[in-house]
């Protein structure tokens, strides 16, 4: 398996240098479970990301970075003060929110026990959903790039996903998605609003009445106009897509254990 740095390289923390290229910083939440997988983030130009970075760092105060899973949830009032300040920042930049969700339960019966199961992890389905959301949601001539937090496990699959978008073009014939890049954790603060957003949406799916959902709510208050795709609301479309993948790649439907067809 190639290392992330063998496939992608990106100059962060330096804001997107191409003023006419939109950049989406994305993060995922829930990929360690068999429930909802969330990929979420924000899309904007260089000026908007600069605004976000400056305000975000100021709002962090004495903290260097925000990691949602590492917050001291046992001290809710302290967490609330921090998230109340950070929540409005990306919306004020102003950046556009992006949300793509998949419920693994909707397709698990089609894939369980096969090699295809790993290929069709919710991470990649939500990534594809995000790419199509952006491509269809921005003006025809505009291009964009994606920046993801580095994860060796997904690097090769993300690279293949990028290659698969080569036919996604602007009217002038340029690639719509010009690059997919990785940034190491804590190398840039620009993935942190995405971490916040993805984590908040996951809490809403798991238990909208929970304390974590309540504490995360500030980043959900200004999501319009957001680009959103909930695959659970298009369950049959998703299942048809997976069935198409199965038909095109029958060898991947062999059992991981004994090489027999599921």
The answer to whether the beta carbons of residues 145 and 174 sit under 8 Å apart is no
Task: Tell me the C-alpha distance between 89 and 95, whole Å.
Answer: 9
Domain enclosing residue 95, as ranges: 23-253
In a domain, 243, yes or no: yes
Residue 42's CATH number: 3.30.420
State percent of the chain over pLDDT 90: 53
How many structural domains compose the chain?
A: 1
> Which residue has better confidence, 224 or 237?
237
In a domain, 17, yes or no: no
Identify the pLDDT of residue 252.
Answer: 65
In a domain, 102, yes or no: yes
Highest mean pLDDT out of 8-17, 112-121, 146-155:
146-155
What is the pTM (predicted TM-score) of this model?
Answer: 0.83
> Which residue has better confidence, 130 or 157?
130
Asked if the model's pLDDT at residue 256 lies above 80, the reply is: no
Write out pLDDT tens, residues 175-195: 999 999 999 888 899 999 999
Q: Which two tokens stand for residue 98?
A: 């992006």
The answer to whether the beta carbons of residues 93 and 102 sit under 8 Å apart is no
Write out pLDDT tens, residues 90-101: 999 999 999 998
Identify the pLDDT of residue 5.
Answer: 33
In a domain, 16, yes or no: no
In a domain, 18, yes or no: no
Q: What is the CA radius of gyration of the chain?
A: 19
Asked if the model's pLDDT at residue 138 lies above 80, the reply is: yes
User: Which residues partner with 108 through β-bridges?
Assistant: none
In a domain, 8, yes or no: no
Q: How far is CA 111 from CA 39, 66, 115, 143, 178, in A?
A: 21, 35, 8, 34, 31
């Amino acid at each position: 398996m190639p290392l992330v740095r063998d496939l992608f390289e990106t100059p962060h923390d330096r804001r997107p240098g191409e003023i006419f290229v939109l950049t989406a910083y994305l993060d995922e939440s829930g990929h360690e479970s068999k429930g909802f997988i969330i990929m979420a983030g924000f899309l904007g130009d260089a000026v908007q990301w600069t605004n976000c970075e400056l305000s975000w760092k100021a709002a962090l105060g004495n903290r260097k970075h925000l990691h949602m899973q590492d917050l001291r949830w046992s001290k809710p009032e302290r967490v609330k003060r921090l998230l109340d300040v950070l929540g409005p920042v990306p919306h004020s930049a102003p950046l556009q929110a992006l949300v793509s969700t998949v419920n693994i339960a909707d397709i698990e019966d089609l894939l369980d026990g096969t090699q295809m199961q790993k290929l069709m992890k919710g991470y990649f389905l939500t990534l594809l959903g995000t790419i199509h959301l952006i491509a269809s949601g921005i003006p025809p001539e505009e291009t964009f790039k994606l920046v993801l937090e580095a994860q060796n496990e997904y690097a090769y699959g993300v690279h293949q996903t990028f290659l698969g978008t080569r036919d996604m073009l602007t009217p002038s014939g340029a690639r719509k998605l010009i690059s997919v890049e990785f940034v190491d954790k804590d190398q840039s603060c620009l993935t942190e609003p995405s971490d916040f957003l993805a984590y908040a949406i996951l809490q809403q799916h798991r238990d909208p009445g929970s304390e974590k959902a309540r504490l995360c709510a500030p980043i959900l208050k200004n999501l319009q106009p957001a680009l959103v795709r909930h695959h659970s609301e298009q369950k049959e479309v998703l299942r048809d897509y997976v069935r198409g993948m199965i038909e095109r790649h029958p060898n991947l439907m062999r059992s991981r254990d004994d090489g027999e067809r599921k």
